[in-house]
Structure 1
Amino acid sequence: MEDKKAELEKLMQEIDLKDYKKIEEISIEIEEITSKIEQDTMRWIELTDF
């Protein structure tokens, strides 16, 4: 019974780690997209500044 419990706890930790890594990857993608939007916005402002 103790082995099953330890195995379950290990599995739960692995799942948490995978979720964390996925969230981290998505956060990096969001930062990249946000940066691109900011650059595009600044360029647009420069181009339309009469």
Structure 2
Amino acid sequence: MLKHILVLTSSILSRIIPLVRSFSWNSSFLLVRYFKELLYATNVDR
């Protein structure tokens, strides 16, 4: 299950990274915060 989540996240990241580069640093910071919260939620879930 966790491996599936990681694969899904990496595929999403590979699509998002080009978009992040075109955004401002503030937007990418918010995105990083979102992923940290997502990882925290998956860790709590175990």
- Relative to the length of structure 2, the TM-score reads 0.49
> Which of the pair has the greater relative contact order for Cα pairs under 8 Å at 6+ separation?
2
- Relative to the length of structure 1, the TM-score reads 0.46
- Larger CA Rg, structure 1 vs 2: 1
